[in-house]
Structure 1
Amino acid sequence: MSLNRGSSLFKSRNFLMYWLSYLFSALGDSIYYFLVPWMIKELTGSGIMMGTFLLVVGVPRIVFMLIGGVIVDRFDGRKVMILSDLLRSILILVMFFLLILNSINMTYILILGFIFGTVDAFYWPAVTSIRQRVIEDSKNVQSNSLFAGTWQITALIGPIIGAYLYQFDKGKTCFIFICITFAVSALTLIKLKLKPIKNVSKPDKQSTLKGELIFGLRFILHNRLVLTLIITMLFANASFRMLFVGLPFLAQSFGANENEFGLMQSMLGGGGIIMSLILAFVIILKNPSLKLIMIAVSLQGLGLLLLGFATNVWEAIIIMGLIGIASALVSTIVPSVFQKVIPVEVMGRVSSVNMIVAQGIVPIAQALGGWFIEVSSPSALFITAGLVETLTGIIALMIPTAVVLNNRNKKHTA
């Protein structure tokens, strides 16, 4: 595929505004999740505190993400995104003033982290569910590759920006920068127009939240492909997210400073950018396969396993790049498969159930990861997580549903 054909996505002003919102919001998140864990390490040096923070931020994200999907199906997803951006901007501003007043402590960090996670939970179901109302169906894989690449770019430059700004005033400028990114994200959405839904089957205004959540669960339980993917991603995400618990302490064990730690984090995005650009502009997967997803999951697990055997910062940096490549494959192919099998009018509800199942284990796993580091080491954590994720991909590949789908894909491409 040519670059011109890939770049045609940006000829639509509507898509450009949608993409810019995602870019700035993801960048704000990336710097936030670099800055606050580094501050916690500086304040406490405790793996338990690190795990507690990730638990406190993660649990409300999971719980309210489920509700957020229902709200997105009921109301305007664009307005939900704008409100989430503005509220996160305000929360970051509060943290800035606490730092200015020299009043920042773990209590405030945990309270504001809980609120941040709650507000954040409404943005991501919205950004996922309205995508089909912004782009053409034929460009799903391209757009997903682009968004995966965008996430990887923010994962690359976010920690670099955070580390650079942090050295000047220990986080004050960082918080101002994050505040601005969320505000800009909201502004780009003001004139975004969504295509009307055809064959609308919107939730009845009189229907209950419980009933709509049950609807989403039933859809998943009756679709073996979606069910297989969700169960696989539950274990894969739990393992992969251990990376963000153990990485600051792995860097510390190597004697790394904040710049070297930022480079370790950034290489996750660097590897992902390369793969995402290839998938967006060079290799277009018109019929994404379940087999490729499972292979990518296994490769991601192998990367974690290798990270556990790293002996210095530069080995870890190289391995993080390889993990990023596998992560980009997963981030691109999984949503492309979902968009093929899930109707747009129920995408919010089903996506939220998917997110809560796949992500629900993450904060618990991260809290356990913090405890694991206290009693063992970050290297042992990565070896364990890597083994779990690698085996998850291999086992899922042998499930009958995966075998049948792969055979069907071969017939379609023959």
Structure 2
Amino acid sequence: MSEATTSATDVPVPALGSAPAHRDPNVLRWVAAYTASMLGDTVFYLALSWAAVQNGTPAQAGIVTAVSAVPRALLMLGGGVVADRFGPRRVVIGSDAVRCATVLAVAAVLFATDPGLWLLALLAVVFGTVDAVFMPAVGALPARITGTDQLARVQGMRGLAVRFAAIVGAPLGGLGVAVGGAAAAFACAGLLIAVSVPLLVSVRMRARPADDAAARDTTAWLDLVGGLRYVRRHRVLGPLMVAIALGDLGFVGPLNVGLTLLADERGWGASGMGWVLAGFGTGAGAAALLLTVRGRVPRAGCVAAGSLVPGAAAIAALAHAPGLSAAVGIAVTVGLLTGLSGAMCGALLQTQSEPAYLGRVTAVGGIVSLGVAPLSMPLSAAAVGVWGTGPVFAVSAAVCALGGVVALAAPGVRRAELPG
């Protein structure tokens, strides 16, 4: 199925290397759309959490806020198949429109009445289901809107968008709740997502290769199995997925649950934990800015894998920081190194994948990060209760470092380069 038939705006983008991504209006429109959508996501989850707390017990609120992760994890591989079969641009526009309409409809219901937790749980399930299609398509889009030599820069710009959404979205959602309750915050989220739709419509796409654009005779199930087989057999993608899984498993637990328990143990309080998180965000933002400005990074495979090892050492050191200021400095280092590794991994996934498989490759990476890694959070919390923060952070760091070792031991990853 040719995506060139989806709309009149699907015309060729400028030739490879003709314009840096941060100066390309086509890429900037996509970044603006992505930023608006991420802002909407941040406000949405804050509003969902607030509304759930107001309508139920803390345990019920936790279930409501977590329930969106279930369909997202279970259906994301199928979402990758959808993105590859119908084209990422069409899928992103359609899923963003559905997300917008759903959130605005719930906001209208909340303005009129108080339906209780059932509506919030249903909204979370719908949002997670659509996310399962939206996220692989979003990951597949950059390779279709710019040259492969600009993908590292686009990953940096995407990282900046995520940091901006995290910094601005939470206060914006809080303001919506303060002004008009959860209904106003949901309306704000819906309107932000709505901003992304016309911007996405205006984004121009590269023509798909002839073999990719040809009509498919296979079933969706065969496409899914073929995508998994493609990743497993690929000399770069296979070991890179293992490295991503180990890196995220070793990173998510300490940053989320472990950091909260560490701050409580050291007497830093909520404000101290906030400063440490700000340090991490600063480091990750600096890595994103570096890639945005610099663009191509030589020896990308070695950088992606090699930065995990010192990043893991910094994770272990965080549990032994002598004071809050030292912990903030270490968190900056963790953010910088893991942010650099993550951006390089994202760029390599896109440049090493054949266009026909890009949605499914992105979905596998999403399953690893959003489905496997969060499993470490309850395990980390339980382990800290038994052994304390120091040993748990050390084990987590070892798991993270193992990801770097696995990647460095794979010749395909070690020698991988981004197009120049």
Query: Which range, TM-score by smaller chain?
Result: 0.7 to 0.9
Structure 2: segments with no counterpart, 5+ residues: 1-16
**Match of residue 12, structure 1, among 3, 6, 24:** 24
**Could you tell me how far 1:301 is from its partner in structure 2?**
4.6
Amino acid in structure 1 at the alignment position of 2:25: R
Q: Which residue of 2 aligns with 1:360?
A: 371
Tell me the SS of whatever aligns to 2:152. Answer: helix
Amino acid in structure 2 at the alignment position of 1:391: A
Tell me the SS of whatever aligns to 1:82. Answer: helix
Matched, 1:349 2:349: no
**Match of residue 111, structure 1, among 106, 109, 122:** 122
Q: Which residue of 1 aligns with 2:405?
A: 398
Q: Which residue of 2 aligns with 1:285?
A: 297
**Could you tell me how far 1:184 is from its partner in structure 2?**
0.4
Amino acid in structure 1 at the alignment position of 2:403: A
**Could you tell me how far 1:215 is from its partner in structure 2?**
1.0
Over 3 Å counting, the alpha-carbon distance change for 1:238 and 1:273 in structure 2 is: same
Q: Which residue of 2 aligns with 1:88?
A: 99
Over 3 Å counting, the alpha-carbon distance change for 1:171 and 1:79 in structure 2 is: same
Written as runs of structure 1 = structure 2, the 5 A alignment for 1:57-68 is 57-68=68-79
Q: Which residue of 2 aligns with 1:207?
A: 218
**Could you tell me how far 1:38 is from its partner in structure 2?**
5.6
- Paired with 1:16 and 1:161, the residues of 2 have a C-alpha distance of 23
Over 3 Å counting, the alpha-carbon distance change for 1:408 and 1:70 in structure 2 is: closer
Q: Which residue of 2 aligns with 1:227?
A: 238
- Paired with 1:261 and 1:104, the residues of 2 have a C-alpha distance of 35
Q: For the Cα contact (< 8 Å) 2:247–2:404, is it kept in 1?
A: no
Q: For the Cα contact (< 8 Å) 1:156–1:267, is it kept in 2?
A: no
Q: Which residue of 2 aligns with 1:340?
A: 351
- Paired with 2:321 and 2:183, the residues of 1 have a C-alpha distance of 33
Q: Which is further off, 26-35 or 181-190?
A: 26-35
- Paired with 1:265 and 1:34, the residues of 2 have a C-alpha distance of 18
- Paired with 2:241 and 2:55, the residues of 1 have a C-alpha distance of 37
Over 3 Å counting, the alpha-carbon distance change for 1:95 and 1:406 in structure 2 is: closer
Over 3 Å counting, the alpha-carbon distance change for 1:396 and 1:310 in structure 2 is: closer
Matched, 1:273 2:285: yes
Over 3 Å counting, the alpha-carbon distance change for 1:254 and 1:390 in structure 2 is: closer
Q: Which residue of 1 aligns with 2:162?
A: 151
Tell me the SS of whatever aligns to 1:229. Answer: helix
Provide the TM-score with structure 2 as the length reference: 0.78
Over 3 Å counting, the alpha-carbon distance change for 1:244 and 1:363 in structure 2 is: same
**Could you tell me how far 1:303 is from its partner in structure 2?**
5.6
- Paired with 1:104 and 1:248, the residues of 2 have a C-alpha distance of 33
- Paired with 1:278 and 1:140, the residues of 2 have a C-alpha distance of 13
Provide the TM-score with structure 1 as the length reference: 0.79
Amino acid in structure 2 at the alignment position of 1:78: R
**Could you tell me how far 1:152 is from its partner in structure 2?**
2.0
Q: Which is further off, 229-238 or 157-166?
A: 157-166
Q: For the Cα contact (< 8 Å) 1:99–1:172, is it kept in 2?
A: yes
Over 3 Å counting, the alpha-carbon distance change for 1:363 and 1:95 in structure 2 is: farther
Written as runs of structure 1 = structure 2, the 5 A alignment for 1:248-259 is 256=270
Q: Which residue of 2 aligns with 1:195?
A: 206
Q: For the Cα contact (< 8 Å) 2:310–2:337, is it kept in 1?
A: yes
Q: Which residue of 2 aligns with 1:120?
A: 131
Q: Which is further off, 65-74 or 355-364?
A: 355-364
**Could you tell me how far 1:18 is from its partner in structure 2?**
1.4
- Paired with 2:126 and 2:100, the residues of 1 have a C-alpha distance of 12
**Could you tell me how far 1:285 is from its partner in structure 2?**
0.2
Amino acid in structure 1 at the alignment position of 2:305: M
**Could you tell me how far 1:96 is from its partner in structure 2?**
2.9
Q: Which is further off, 208-217 or 343-352?
A: 343-352
Matched, 1:22 2:20: no
**Could you tell me how far 1:240 is from its partner in structure 2?**
3.6
Over 3 Å counting, the alpha-carbon distance change for 1:409 and 1:228 in structure 2 is: closer
Matched, 1:331 2:338: no
Q: Deviations over 1:138-163 (max 9, x none)?
A: 11211122212222222222223334
Over 3 Å counting, the alpha-carbon distance change for 1:105 and 1:380 in structure 2 is: farther
Amino acid in structure 1 at the alignment position of 2:283: G
Q: Deviations over 1:77-96 (max 9, x none)?
A: 21211121122223322443
Over 3 Å counting, the alpha-carbon distance change for 1:30 and 1:353 in structure 2 is: same
- Paired with 1:318 and 1:392, the residues of 2 have a C-alpha distance of 22
Q: Which is further off, 82-91 or 350-359?
A: 350-359
Q: For the Cα contact (< 8 Å) 1:201–1:345, is it kept in 2?
A: yes
Amino acid in structure 2 at the alignment position of 1:142: R
Amino acid in structure 2 at the alignment position of 1:74: R
Aligned sequence identity (%): 22
Q: For the Cα contact (< 8 Å) 1:84–1:122, is it kept in 2?
A: yes
Q: For the Cα contact (< 8 Å) 2:260–2:273, is it kept in 1?
A: yes
Q: For the Cα contact (< 8 Å) 2:249–2:376, is it kept in 1?
A: yes
- Paired with 2:412 and 2:36, the residues of 1 have a C-alpha distance of 37
